[in-house]
Amino acid sequence: MDLLEYQGKQLFARHGLKVSSGQAVTTVEDAVAAANAIGYPVVIKAQVLIGGRGKAGGVKLAADEAEARRYAERILGLDIRGHVVHTLWIEHASEIASEYYASVLLDRSAKQPLVIFSVEGGVEIEQVAEQSPQKLVRQHVDALAGLSRPEAVEIARAGGADADVVEGVADALMALYEVWEQEDATLAEINPLIVTPEREVKALDAKVSLDGNALYRHPDNQSLSDRENEDPIERRASEEGVQYVKLDGDIGILGNGAGLVMSTLDVVAQAGGSPANFLDAGGGSDAEKIRQAVALILANDAVKAVLFNIFGGITRGDEVARGLIAAFKEISPTVPFVVRLDGTNDVEGRRLLQEAALPNVHAARTMNEAAQQVVALAGAQSD
């Protein structure tokens, strides 16, 4: 779960990392009022879940009320690479002497937390990694011991932080590590971590991703998910406990088990189709679960045809067929369904489906056949 900058900064502040206080607003009037209250110059920042806002015109310094109004008007509603700005964050503008970079993330291949620090901040860190890798310090941390103060100081020194701010950078790294660890973050990144002319070290930006599976341990963080920017169907799915991922195509993909669903995406793509979503109905086979899944798939207007791919293992094919029949008696599908049923009790399952003669439901024997059929049906729908 990705957090907006200002939400990340709230977490930072909770762990003693220095940030500017500010206000999140959603209207031009509130933006102007906030800017007046904070005092000029202010910085007005688009709150969207995508980086590079500055370059896209989503971060502006305003020297007075007229500028604050002009920029708030310009940035609200701005589309930054597909992310429309609904919220602005306004804080007192900081003076910048240097821009550093700091992050903590989980290095899966090393199975250890990784702290990254560089004095080349404010630009994309991938660019630093490519052009001046020697300016990037990467330090693994013992997950059980945590990041010690001497280690943090060493990282700051090795990265070339100005001598007078080594302690301040070490403080920031330790606080960032604490955020990462205690909030169950998968990524905690500051770019830029600035040094002010007064030699204060503070986070000017925040990029935090929380582990959704650990959210139950953090009741305070549950309200942070960006409901407004979340896909409404994805939101409904998460509320109903169904795995659903929205994609850009027009073929709905429904299956039992994430592995099967992923291979179904591949097979459909190979057959020339383009998946509209990824929906894993899980191991269950009861009619209610299937009805929910079908309703979710159909809630997406882009879906022109659906492939329901079932491989019976513990879940029996005849049970799934019964669930499907019961579900389709309640909600008649508005688009064609191709059902591929294989595995445990598949013959019985296909027989049940055939007898039920559901309108708009086509049975297929193999995955390839099902994929070709659904691609053809989706094509026919859009003609």
Active site residue ranges = 101, 189
204 binds ligand GDP (CB under 6 A): yes
In whole angstroms, give the CA distance from residue 330 to residue 267. Answer: 30
In the complex, the smallest distance separating the C-beta of residue 12 from ligand GDP, rounded to whole angstroms, is 13
Pick one of 3, 4, 43, 287: the residue that binds ligand GDP (CB under 6 A).
Answer: 43
In the complex, the smallest distance separating the C-beta of residue 149 from ligand GDP, rounded to whole angstroms, is 27
Whole-Å CA distances, 297 to 74, 201, 270, 275, 378: 36, 48, 21, 11, 14
**Helix %, strand %, coil % of the chain (to 5):** 40, 25, 35
How many residues touch ligand GDP under the rule CB under 6 A: the total is: 17
In the complex, the smallest distance separating the C-beta of residue 92 from ligand GDP, rounded to whole angstroms, is 7
Nearer to ligand GDP, 196 or 263 (CB): 196
94 binds, among ligand GDP, Mn ion, none (CB under 5 to 8 A by kind): ligand GDP
285 binds, among Mn ion, ligand GDP, none (CB under 5 to 8 A by kind): none
- Per-residue binding letters, 113-152, with ligand GDP (x by CB under 6 A): ---------x------------------------------
Whole-angstrom Cα Rg for the chain: 26
93 binds, among ligand GDP, Mn ion, none (CB under 5 to 8 A by kind): ligand GDP
> Strand locations in the chain, DSSP E?
22-25, 42-46, 59-62, 79-80, 83-84, 88-92, 98-107, 112-118, 136-140, 185-195, 201-203, 207-210, 243-246, 251-255, 277-280, 305-312, 337-343, 361-364
In whole angstroms, give the CA distance from residue 169 to residue 164. Answer: 10
Query: Looking up tokens 């202010």, which residue turns up?
Result: 42
In the complex, the smallest distance separating the C-beta of residue 204 from Mn ion, rounded to whole angstroms, is 7
Chain residues that interact with ligand GDP, rule: CB under 6 A: 43, 45, 51-54, 59, 61, 93-94, 96, 99, 122, 191-192, 204-205
